[in-house]
Amino acid sequence: MLGWIVTGFRTTYIHDRDQWPHLTWDSGVLAPQLARIHFARGELMGQLSLMGFSTQANSMLDTLVQDVTRSSRIEGEVLDDAQVRSSVARRLGLPIAGLPEPARHVEGVVAMTLDATQQYQEPLDAERLYRWHRSLFPHGVDDNLQPLQTGRWRETEMEVVNNNMSRRTVHFEAPSPARVHQEMETFLQWFNKEQDLDPVIKAGLAHIHFLTVHPFEDGNGRIARALTDLLLARADGRRERYYSLSRQIEQRRAEYYRVLEATQRSRTTDVTNWLGFYLDCLTAALTAALASLSRARARHLYFSRFADVALEERAHHVLTRMFEPFEGKLNNKKYRGLTGVSDDTVTRDLKYLVDAGMLIQIGRTKGTYYLLNLSGIPSAGLEPYADTLYWFGEADSSTRPEKS
């Protein structure tokens, strides 16, 4: 309980402070992170300008699928990736052949995510948030199949508690229902107002502000992350999303909840620590997006170079898979595991790919492995996998390294 303020039997929270909802932060502490983020955003836009429409569309599809599935996983809900991909692709006008029909609740989560990012210029009001909430819970029940009031502000007290039945711990208590309407009026006015405020910072502030008010009975976390994506889309000035903040938060889920709790239990309205965590996740999201785009560009250039090589579907699958780095190296055993073919077919396929120049063979003995021949293709973002998956040198056999 160290650092928590208790009045009677109730801990006081950030929304109980006299300064609420006027949040403060240390700009000097956050300045280096912000500088890196703005540089990475510019670099990402530059990378995108070099990509063709197909590469951009596929990258956006992958990002949105990650955003939808990872944001739900943070709350403990696992959505079917293929259904999410089907729903997103259909709404974006991309091919959906072979993809399953999405369930109604999956369609709802996708609808909310796309409305937030595709319609980022539209003002945010209560009715829009109500629509999002109804989309998340189309059957009128929560994730535990309990009846849920949808499409309106909550009318009950709200606590965030753990799931340990032997010892109930309250992590956060939201403002009383009587305060919610006015709290949301204040939030929406601030959200829509033009301000002399870095838009990346505003997105982080909106996240913690909305979660602290906790205006709905359920779904507040997913809606808070959608609001953050909306403001980041405004900051970027484009409807297309190429980096997933929710993916990074999901990877640091325990820390996310710890920082939220510490901030909401703070003695002051200073949210520097929360913003620092959020900016760290955003930096990681941009870094991952840049690496992904580099791989996508290299993949496009690679297959364009070898467009005249007739490939079996299994070989194309393996070569494509190598642009999504995996553990270890491509050897006969790995190829067999990825394709399920016989040893003779593995040997024949790999010899064909080496003779065609698509793979570089390293070694001649039992330890032989193979690298993608990326000579002459930009290597930015791929360097960590040089000499394990990729070969950037000359393709001539006289320059190939021998395995020691």
- Given 294, 320, 336, the domain boundary residue is 294
Which amino acid is present at 175?
P
Q: Does 370 lie in the same domain as 290?
A: no
Helix, strand, coil tally for the chain in percent (to 5): 55, 5, 40
Q: How many CB atoms lie within 10 A of CB 280?
A: 16
Identify whether residues 86 and 214 lie together within a single domain.
yes
Residue 302 lies in a domain: no
Please, is 143 exposed, middle or buried when counting C-beta atoms within 10 Å of its C-beta (0-12, 13-18, 19+)?
Answer: middle
Residue 171 forms part of a structural domain? yes
Instruction: Write down the residue that tokens 């090589």 correspond to.
Output: 309
Among 246, 264, 294, which residue terminates a domain? Answer: 294
List phi, psi (to 5°) of 97.
Answer: -55, 130
Classify residue 301: in a domain, yes or no.
no
| Within a domain: 286 | yes
Q: Percent of the chain having pLDDT more than 70?
A: 93
What pLDDT does 394 receive? 66
Residue 49 or 400, more confident: 49
User: What per-residue confidence (pLDDT) applies to 17?
Assistant: 96
- Domain co-membership, 126 together with 247: yes
Q: Are residues 317 and 282 in the same domain?
A: no
Q: What is the pLDDT of residues 371-403, one digit of tens each?
A: 999 998 887 778 888 888 999 886 544 334 444
Q: For CA atoms 142, 83, 69, 110, give the dihedral sign.
A: negative
Same-domain check for residues 314 and 278: no
pLDDT digits (tens, 9 = 90+) for 344-375: 999 999 999 999 999 999 998 888 999 999 99
Mean pLDDT of the chain: 90
**Among 71-75, 242-246, 321-325, which stretch is predicted with the lowest mean pLDDT?**
321-325
| Cα dist from 354 to 112, 327, 370, whole Å | 47, 21, 8
Confidence band of 6 (pLDDT split at 50, 70, 90): very low
Identify whether residues 279 and 332 lie together within a single domain.
Answer: no
Q: Print the domain residue range for 323.
A: 308-399
Phi, psi of 83 (to 5 degrees): -65, -40
β-bridge mates for residue 7, sequence order? 10
Q: Is residue 264 located within the same domain as residue 313?
A: no
Task: List pLDDT tens digits, range 308-318.
Answer: 999 999 999 99
Residue type, 297: R
Residue 299 falls inside a structural domain: no
CATH of the domain at 364: 1.10.10.10
Return the minimum-mean-pLDDT range out of 40-54, 74-88, 209-223, 356-370. 40-54
Q: What is the pLDDT of residues 59-81, one digit of tens each?
A: 899 999 999 999 999 999 999 99
Contact by Cβ (8 Å): 359, 370:
yes
Domain final residue, candidates 259, 294, 329: 294
Structural domain count of the chain: 2
251 and 336 part of one domain: no
| Cβ neighbours for 181, distance < 8 A, ≥ 6 positions apart | 153
Question: What is the C-alpha radius of gyration for the chain, rounded to an integer number of angstroms?
Answer: 25
The tens digit of pLDDT for each residue in 219-240 reads: 999 999 999 999 999 999 999 9
Residue 170 lies in a domain: yes
Residue 319 scores a pLDDT above 60? yes
- Residues 248-261: what's their mean pLDDT? 96
In a domain, 303, yes or no: no
Is residue 300 domain-resident? no
**How far apart are alpha carbons 31 and 45 in whole angstroms?**
21
Q: 203: closest CA among 176, 235, 158?
A: 235
pLDDT at 2: 33
Would you state the pLDDT for residue 163? Answer: 66
Residues 61, 164 within the same domain? yes
Would you say residue 4 has pLDDT above 50?
Answer: no
Cβ atoms < 10 Å from Cβ of 155: 10
351 in the same domain as 260: no
Q: Do 204 and 283 have their domain in common?
A: yes
**Same-domain status, 183 and 318:** no
**What pLDDT shows up at residue 3?**
35
pLDDT bracket for residue 8 (50, 70, 90): very low
Q: At 41, which CATH number? A: 1.10.3290.10
Report helix, strand or coil for 82: helix
